[in-house]
Structure 1
Amino acid sequence: MSLFDAVRWLYDATIPMGDLRPLVVREVVGNVFGLASALGGMRRRVWAWPVGIIGNALLFTVFVGAIATRGDTPTLLGQAGRQLMFIAVSAWGWWSWRRARREQDAAGAATARAASLVGDAERDDGVQPRWATPRQRAGLVIALFVGTAALTPLFRALGSSEPVWADAWTFMGSLLATWGMARRWVEFWLIWVAVDLVGVPLLLGAGYYATATMYIVYGVFTLSGFFVWRRARRAQG
C-alpha cells in the first residue's frame, strides 16, 4: 500500500455502529493522539504539544467535513474552529515550554551536580507549574462567560447546530485552558473540567461518540492532573 493509499484509507474509513452514525476512524485516531497529549501534559512533558497538534489536525478534518457535507450530521462550528485554535496556541505553547525547559536546565545545572555528589540524583524533567494570580483567575472566569456570550450569536449565524451556546462554551473554554497550560498555570485543569461538563452531552447528542468518550476519559485526567500539578508546585517550595 502506498502512502497515498494509506492516507486515503484513513480519510474514508469508518466503523459501523448499527443504527447510529458510523464512527469515523480519523475521529478515533485523532482522539488517541489527544489522550496521549493529555498524559504528556499531566507529566509536564514538552512532547505533549506536537502530539496534540497531530490529533487536532485529524479532528479538524472530521468536524470541517461535517460542515461541508451537512446531511443529517449536526454542525459543530466551534468544534471545528477549536482544532485550528488548538494548533495555533499549541505551537506557541510548544515554544514556551521548550524555552522554560532550557531555562530550568540552565538554572538547575549546579543544583543537579550538587545533588549527585550527595547521592540524590533524582530529577524532575517536567516544566515547573505555577499558580495564576487572583487577577488572572478572575480574568479567566470573565473571559469564559463573556466569550461564550459573544461567540454564540456568531456561531448561530454561521450555521452551528443547537445548542449553540454549548458549542461556544467548549470553544472558549478550550482556548482558555490551552492558554493556561502554555502559561503553566495549575488552574488550567479546572477549566477543562468546565469544558468537559458541557462538551460530553453536546458531542453525544451530535453523534460524535469517539470524541465524547475521549471527553469522559479526559475528565478523569483533568481532575487527577490538577492534583498532580498542585503537588508538583508545592514540591518546588
Structure 2
Amino acid sequence: MNWLTSEAFTVFGQDIKWFDMIGNILGLIALALGWRRSVWTWPVQFLAGLTLFGAFYGHLTGMAGKQAVVMLVALFGWWQWSRGKGQAADGHISVRFAGWRERGAMIAAAAAGTVAVALLFKAYPSLSWDPWPDAYIFVGTLVAMYAQARGMVEFWFAWLLVDLVGVPLSFANDYAFSGFVYVIYGALVLWGMRDWWLRSRTTAPTLEGAHA
C-alpha cells in the first residue's frame, strides 16, 4: 500500500492517515493566508485540495468532489486576486460585504445546487452512500470559495456552515485528522470573520467597484 494512503499514527483510538493529515495542514496554512488576504492562499489551497482529493477518492465521493471544486476555484481565485484590482492601501486584497442581490443569488444557487447534486447522487448510489450531506458539502464549498475569490466577508459564514456538516461526517468515516483540524478551522474562521468584518468598514475600493 502506498505510504500516503496508510495510517500515520493513532490518537484517542482514531487512525490518522498521511493524506488526510498533510492535506489538512496545507488547508490550515491556506486559511491563515486567506485571513491575511495574501494571494498565496490560492496555490496553497490548490495543493491542499489535490492532496485531500487523493485521500477521499473512491470512498467519500462528495468530499472528493469538494476537493475537485476547491482546486478549480483556487485557480479562479488566484487569477482574480493576482489581477491587482480591488486592493487595499496595504497592498493586499480589499474586502467587503456582499450586496443583498449577491447574497440572494448565492443562497439560491446553494439551495438549488444542493438539491440537484443530491438527486444526482440518489440516482447513482455508487457515487455516494450519504447523498444529502455530500451534496451540501460539495455545493457549500463552491459558494464559499467563490465568495472568498470576490473578497466577500460572507465567505467566512459559508465556510462555518460547511464545517458544521463536514466535522461529524469526517469522524463518522474514519478521517479523524480532518475532524480534529476542523475544530482549529472553526477558531480561525471566527477570527478571520472578525478581521474581514472590521476591514470591510475601512477599505474603500471593492472588487465589485473595480469591475464597474
What is the TM-score when the length of structure 2 is the normalising length? 0.87
Paired position in structure 2 for 1:159: 126
Q: Name the structure 1 match of 2:112.
A: 146
Which SS does the other structure have where 1:23 is aligned?
strand
Aligned partner letter, 1:220: A
Matching residue of 1:91: 75
**Are 1:134 and 2:127 counterparts?**
no
Any stretches of 5+ residues in structure 1 without a counterpart?
1-7, 68-74, 109-122
1:183 equivalent in structure 2: 150
Q: What is the Cα-based RMSD across aligned positions, in Å?
A: 2.1
Q: Which residue of 2 aligns with 1:174?
A: 141
Give the superposition deviation at 1:96. Answer: 0.6
Write the distance in 1 (CA, Å) between the matches of 2:7 and 2:105: 42
Counterpart-to-counterpart distance in 2, 1:13 and 1:207? 12
Letter paired with 2:188? F
> 1:193 Cα shift?
1.0
Higher relative contact order (CA 8 A, sep 6+): 2
* Cα distance in structure 2, aligned partners of 1:97 and 1:53: 14
CA shift for structure 1 position 15: 2.2
1:206 to 173, 179, 198: 173
- Give the C-alpha shift of residue 20 in structure 1: 5.4
Aligned counterpart in structure 2 of residue 194 of structure 1, from 158, 161, 170: 161
Q: Do the aligned partners of 1:77 and 1:155 also contact (CA within 8 Å) in 2?
A: no
Task: Answer with 187-196 or 156-165: which moved more.
Answer: 156-165
Conservation of the 8 A alpha-carbon contact between 1:78 and 1:170: yes
User: Any stretches of 5+ residues in structure 2 without a counterpart?
Assistant: 205-212
2:16 maps to 1:32: no
Identity among equivalent positions (%) equals 35
Matched residue type, 2:44 = V
- Find the aligned partners of 1:19 and 1:38 in 2 and give their Cα distance: 26
Partner of 2:45: 52
SS at match of 1:15: strand
Q: How many residues are matched?
A: 202
Question: C-alpha displacement at 1:163, in angstroms?
Answer: 3.3
Q: 2 CA distance for matches of 1:134 and 1:18?
A: 45
Instruction: Describe how 1:59-74 pairs up with structure 2 within 5 A.
Output: 59-64=52-57, 67=58
Q: Structure 1 runs of 4+ off > 6 angstroms?
A: none
TM-superposed CA distance for 1:162, in Å, is 4.3
Question: 2: distance between equivalents of 1:37 and 1:18?
Answer: 24
The Cα of 1:13 is off from its aligned counterpart by 4.1
For residues 151 and 47 of structure 2, what CA distance do their matches in structure 1 show? 21
Once residues 219 and 21 of structure 1 are traced to their aligned partners in structure 2, the CA distance between those partners, rounded to angstroms, is 20
Letter in 2 for 1:207: D
Matched with 1:114 is none
Q: 20-29 or 38-47: which moved more? A: 20-29
The one of 42, 56, 61 aligned to 1:77: 61
The two structures have a TM-score, normalised by structure 1, of: 0.78
Say if 2:95 and 2:203, in contact at 8 Å, map to a contact too: no
